[in-house]
Amino acid sequence: MPSTYTANGGIEKIATGEQSGTWGDTTNTNFDILDRITNGVGTINLSASGSAHTLTTADGALSDGMYKVLVLSGATEACTITVAPNTAQKIYFVDNNSGFNCTFTQGTGADVTISNGETGIIYCNGGGDAGAVIAIAEDLSNLLVSTNNLSDVASATTARTNLGVAVGSDVLAYDANLQAFVNAFTLPTSDGTSGQVLSTDGSGTLSFSTASSVSKGFVVGMSIVFGA
For residues 94 and 163, what is the distance between their CA atoms, to the nearest angstrom?
Answer: 30
| pLDDT for residue 174 is more than 60 | yes
Give the integer Cα–Cα distance in Å for 102 and 119: 11
pLDDT of residue 141: 52
- Please determine, for residue 213, whether its predicted confidence score (pLDDT) is greater than 90: no
- The answer to whether residue 146 scores a pLDDT higher than 50 is no
- Compute the average pLDDT of residues 28-45: 97
* Contact yes or no for 8/85 (Cβ under 8 A): no
Rounded CA separation 152/113 (Å):
22
Nearest Cα to Cα of residue 71 among 99, 45, 34: 45
Task: Using a cut of 0.75, tell me whether the model's pTM lies above it.
Answer: no
**Is it the case that residue 151 has pLDDT exceeding 80?**
no
Q: What whole-number distance in Å separates Cα of residue 172 and Cα of residue 152?
A: 21
- The mean per-residue pLDDT over the stretch 4-31 comes to 94
Given a cut of 80, is residue 73 above it in pLDDT? yes
HSE at residue 50, side-chain half, CA atoms within 13 A, is 1
Contacts of 201 (CB under 8 A, 6+ apart): 207
Neighbours of 118 (CB within 10 A): 19
Q: Is the dihedral of CA 164, 169, 174, 180 positive or negative?
A: negative
Whether the per-residue pLDDT at 124 is higher than 80: the answer is: yes
Q: Mean pLDDT throughout 10-27?
A: 93
User: Does residue 147 surpass a pLDDT of 70?
Assistant: no
Cα torsion 216, 218, 220, 226: sign: negative
Has residue 1 got a pLDDT over 90?
no
Lowest mean pLDDT: which of 14-23, 51-60, 87-96?
Answer: 14-23
156: confidence class by pLDDT, cuts 50, 70, 90: confident
